Structure 1
Amino acid sequence: MIRRRLVVTASATLAAALVVLTTGFYMLLSWQLESGADGVLRARAGAAAATVTTLQGRLKVNETPFDEVLDSGVWVFDAAGAPVSGPPVPGRLDAPARELGTVSRPTFRDIDHDLRMLAIPLREPPAPDAVVVVALSLVPYENAERTALIGALVFDVLVLGLGALLVRRSVTQALRPVARMTAQAARWSERDLDRRFGLGPSRDELTGLAATLDGLLGRLSAALRHEQRVTAEIAHELRTPLAQVRLETEVALRRDRPAAELRDVLRNVLDGTDRMAAALDTLIGLARRSIDPSAGTATVAEVAADALRACLARGREIRLDTGRAAGLVVGCDREVVGRMLQPLLDNALRYGRSAVLLRVRRSGDPGAPGAPGDSGDSGGDVVFAVGDDGPGFDAGELDAVLAPGAQGRATAPGQGAGLGLALARRLAEAGGGTLTPRVSPEGGGLIELRLPLA
């Protein structure tokens, strides 16, 4: 499990850092304690040397108010190494002290790892010619060193435990959005490929993952819509030739016919099969194309530019208002979106008196087109709203004008065939979108094409 590996790795790293810090602390403490013990020995040796004088050519140690403290662990030897002064009670340190009584320079010596001795020769005038030897127990320093080490180890264990808990909590908190996004992507891939995370451009690992998953869902959605569209086109293209072949065959079988008529019937059947074969070849070739984001998607800016060029080619001009939606990517082919918009623009240019507006917004954004009640939209669609200042639609004909062959009340007799909006709606539904005529609150015609984001 990745969370366990991250926690173990972070805890091991923290443990290694604590070992290094504790080792450095212990070495520094040992050096400080050793330096402190050496300083105490030098101070005692200096204090003892100050009490050594010469009287009538003989060395003498002057009495001080703290002789009982100073005499413990202090020896004074003459130039020949003979003892002049020492502890009142002989002990095991007398022999090592006599060995140091003849040194010619300051000398440190450790005794049994718990005692340290320092010998300082007094050679320069006006000091008498003598050697002062002092001893110091290292037990308090070792106890302090041991106590500090135990405290450091206990502190390390507490820090390591607390650090492991914090790391585990942090990793859990950091991976929770990833697990949630993974579960959402799995659910969407099964039921709702048009949903997106929509966290914007990649700024960190989380938004980068969201952008990657959005792209993956976009490709899956584009592939599914492509498959649905090809299936719908196959059914649409084959239905009419099949019906014609069946009709021709049934009529030919009703009664005996001359050979010439049968040849005509067979010729019509052959033509129908040729048309079906050509349609199948074309549609199957389309279905075998690889689906990639560039083939199954289009940006709003590209679609709007195509619509503007198409209108200019007919000598008409429309107003574009893409707002902040220009960079959005629609989950449909660029050409297919153009075929959806073309009947809407044709109607607006035909019935509009002057102004024709193509307005594009992301659903759910402030100012986005839509009927009241659309404010709860998830923001996963792009809405193309084509409006004009013509007669518009009545509330009672909003559904009827989308039926094949149906026309609105403003259509003059013989004007149009009533197939444009029906075809646009069929293409929109095949692409996972909707086409909705609306009663514009400002008057005039208003048709919205809603398509999913890639």
Structure 2
Amino acid sequence: MRLRTPSMQRRLTLWLGVIALLASSLAGALLFWTLKQEVQRQEITEARGKAELIEHLVGMQSHTPQALSDILDGIQAGHGHLGIWITSPDGTLRYGNATPEVLSVTDGGEVLLRNADDTRMRGVRLTLPGPPEAGATLTVAVNTLANARFLYAYGTALLLICALWIGATVVLAAWAVRRTLAPVRRLSGQAASIQPEHLDVRLPVVGIDRELSDLVASFNRTLDRLQEAYQQMEGFNADVAHELRTPLATLINGAQVTLSSPRSAEELREALASNLEELEDLKTLVNDMLFLARADRGEQAADLAPARLEQEALRVAEYFEATLEAQALHVAVQDSATCAANPGLVRRALANLLANAIRATPRGEGHGLGLAIVRAIARMHNGGVTAASGPAGTEIGFSLGARPAQDDKRVIRATD
């Protein structure tokens, strides 16, 4: 089963729709409840007004039961939704039709009744002060059927309006979200158009929304690092091709010469020895290239220890003593310094510098990675290489910087 790709546009539209649903439901429920409370209050007010009128008329003078009945008939005339009941203290119905079922009575005398036809009536109940029967209970209630129908129609209309409002909100939200995310789509298209041969192209940072500026800046910095790595890889590939070409050509030419005519066992042995020497040089070249590749990935020197640089320089000079004597050269070590460094890497850098300085072999012998290795070792120690030309000649050296706090970078270890 293929899972659907998450969509920010769908998610935002859904959340806006949910918010619209909750807001509309809350507002609709509040409006309906407020109207319902107002309708019930008006029903109670109407019933209480009629009850107080009857109480006032009864209290003004004594009435015979027939006279009281005539008064109540007159009050009820034209008010078909109004119900009046008078019950004597012993529970005998003195006026009105069959007594409806009492559903609830409040301390304030408000009652809720149910007729035989299952319609509800809401009103008040109080005690009459005088004849024809002192202490009789008067109940006046208003039929709620008409108001219930009104509330039902109002609630239906409110639900329809809320549904239309939610639908319109979702449509408008989808449109607004799509327009809001248009810059993201444009940036995505621009990022997709960047090809390997155009790694110098960057996403525009002018006119970008503030929420996207950090993302664009981070993406451009990533492209900077990618371009730098790509250029380093291209340079490394070119160096590999250039440096391997000479030893491979030497091996091929030597093999062709050896195979061009019959050779004695001694001649074959000499040819193999020559090839072995070339292969040893080729092995050294490959190891140096691998070392440079690891250094280009940002690896740092490890196993740092206090290193006395003058002692390391003297050890390297002693190693090259025979070569120096053959070239009638002299090595002078001036001053002294101690720093935290990898002694093996420091000696390797010094050896490469010294080898480049004393090399007097014809052009093409050896490989030209010595100074590149010196630069890589200096960079592993947060330093750099220096070069200066003057009347006395060209001076080339390297510096070792302070080591930063240990982080998650890979490290390189070296041994003699």
- TM range, normalised to the smaller chain? 0.5 to 0.7
Counterpart Cα distance in 2 of 1:16 and 1:102: 39
Match of 1:28 in 2: 30
> Partner letter of residue 151 of structure 1?
I
Which of the residues 166, 169, 174 maps onto 2:176? Answer: 166
Q: 1:35 to 1:122 in 2, by over 3 A?
A: same
Match of 1:76 in 2: 84
Match of 2:10 in 1: 8
Which of the residues 192, 201, 223 maps onto 1:182? Answer: 192
> Partner letter of residue 74 of structure 1?
L
> Partner letter of residue 161 of structure 1?
V
For the 8 Å contact 2:25–2:162, the answer to whether it is kept is no
Counterpart Cα distance in 2 of 1:219 and 1:32: 69
Which of the residues 335, 340, 345 maps onto 2:375? Answer: 335
For the 8 Å contact 2:251–2:275, the answer to whether it is kept is yes
* Alpha-carbon distance, 1:268 to partner: 7.4
Counterpart Cα distance in 2 of 1:113 and 1:235: 109
Counterpart Cα distance in 2 of 1:345 and 1:221: 24
For the 8 Å contact 2:296–2:376, the answer to whether it is kept is no
* Alpha-carbon distance, 1:278 to partner: 1.8
Match of 2:167 in 1: 157
For the 8 Å contact 1:107–1:118, the answer to whether it is kept is yes
Counterpart Cα distance in 1 of 2:70 and 2:227: 98
Which of the residues 227, 233, 244 maps onto 2:243? Answer: 233
For the 8 Å contact 2:111–2:123, the answer to whether it is kept is yes
Q: Could you report, residue by residue, the CA deviation over 1:67-93 in whole angstroms, capped at 9, with x for unpaired residues?
A: 6897342222212464657xxxxxxxx
Counterpart Cα distance in 1 of 2:244 and 2:85: 119
* Alpha-carbon distance, 1:40 to partner: 1.0
Counterpart Cα distance in 1 of 2:77 and 2:125: 21
Match of 1:146 in 2: 156
RMSD: 5.2
Counterpart Cα distance in 1 of 2:102 and 2:6: 66
For the 8 Å contact 2:110–2:123, the answer to whether it is kept is yes
Match of 1:295 in 2: 296
5+ long unaligned stretches in structure 1: 86-93, 254-258, 300-312, 316-331, 352-411, 421-454
Match of 2:52 in 1: 50
Counterpart Cα distance in 2 of 1:163 and 1:107: 49
Secondary structure of 1:51 counterpart: helix
For the 8 Å contact 1:194–1:218, the answer to whether it is kept is no
Match of 1:120 in 2: 124
Identify the range of structure 1 (151-160 vs 231-240) with the bigger mean alpha-carbon deviation: 231-240
Counterpart Cα distance in 1 of 2:229 and 2:112: 81
Counterpart Cα distance in 2 of 1:271 and 1:198: 61
For the 8 Å contact 1:75–1:84, the answer to whether it is kept is no
> Partner letter of residue 79 of structure 1?
T
Match of 1:224 in 2: 234
For the 8 Å contact 2:102–2:114, the answer to whether it is kept is no
Counterpart Cα distance in 1 of 2:287 and 2:388: 31
> Partner letter of residue 134 of structure 1?
V
* Alpha-carbon distance, 1:236 to partner: 4.5
Counterpart Cα distance in 2 of 1:172 and 1:285: 51
For the 8 Å contact 1:234–1:279, the answer to whether it is kept is no
For the 8 Å contact 1:74–1:134, the answer to whether it is kept is yes
Counterpart Cα distance in 2 of 1:171 and 1:21: 25
* Alpha-carbon distance, 1:217 to partner: 4.4
For the 8 Å contact 1:106–1:121, the answer to whether it is kept is yes
> Partner letter of residue 108 of structure 1?
L
In the alignment of these two chains, the number of paired residues is 297
Q: 1:36 to 1:14 in 2, by over 3 A?
A: same
Equivalent pairs: percent with the same residue? 15
Q: 1:335 to 1:23 in 2, by over 3 A?
A: same
* Alpha-carbon distance, 1:147 to partner: 1.9
* Alpha-carbon distance, 1:205 to partner: 4.0
Counterpart Cα distance in 2 of 1:333 and 1:2: 51
> Partner letter of residue 285 of structure 1?
N
Q: 1:236 to 1:113 in 2, by over 3 A?
A: farther
Q: Which residues in structure 2 correspond to 1:261-300 (within 5 Å)?
A: 272-287=274-289, 291=293, 295-296=296-297
Identify the range of structure 1 (68-77 vs 224-233) with the bigger mean alpha-carbon deviation: 68-77
Q: Could you report, residue by residue, the CA deviation over 1:352-403 in whole angstroms, capped at 9, with x for unpaired residues?
A: xxxxxxxxxxxxxxxxxxxxxxxxxxxxxxxxxxxxxxxxxxxxxxxxxxxx
For the 8 Å contact 2:103–2:111, the answer to whether it is kept is no
Q: 1:111 to 1:157 in 2, by over 3 A?
A: farther
Is 1:346 equivalent to 2:347 in the alignment?
no
Counterpart Cα distance in 1 of 2:298 and 2:153: 76
Secondary structure of 1:121 counterpart: strand
For the 8 Å contact 1:26–1:149, the answer to whether it is kept is yes
Q: Taking structure 1 as the reference length, what is the TM-score of the superposition?
A: 0.50
Q: Taking structure 2 as the reference length, what is the TM-score of the superposition?
A: 0.54
Q: Could you report, residue by residue, the CA deviation over 1:262-288 in whole angstroms, capped at 9, with x for unpaired residues?
A: 97x878755642342122212333455
Q: Could you report, residue by residue, the CA deviation over 1:170-215 in whole angstroms, capped at 9, with x for unpaired residues?
A: 334223313322331xx02xx245666698xx98444444444544
Counterpart Cα distance in 2 of 1:215 and 1:57: 106
Match of 2:140 in 1: 132
Match of 2:399 in 1: none
Secondary structure of 1:77 counterpart: strand
Larger Rg: 2
Q: 1:2 to 1:212 in 2, by over 3 A?
A: farther
> Partner letter of residue 295 of structure 1?
D
* Alpha-carbon distance, 1:220 to partner: 3.9
Counterpart Cα distance in 1 of 2:298 and 2:117: 82
Q: 1:131 to 1:290 in 2, by over 3 A?
A: farther
5+ long unaligned stretches in structure 2: 206-211, 301-332, 336-371, 397-416
Match of 1:426 in 2: none
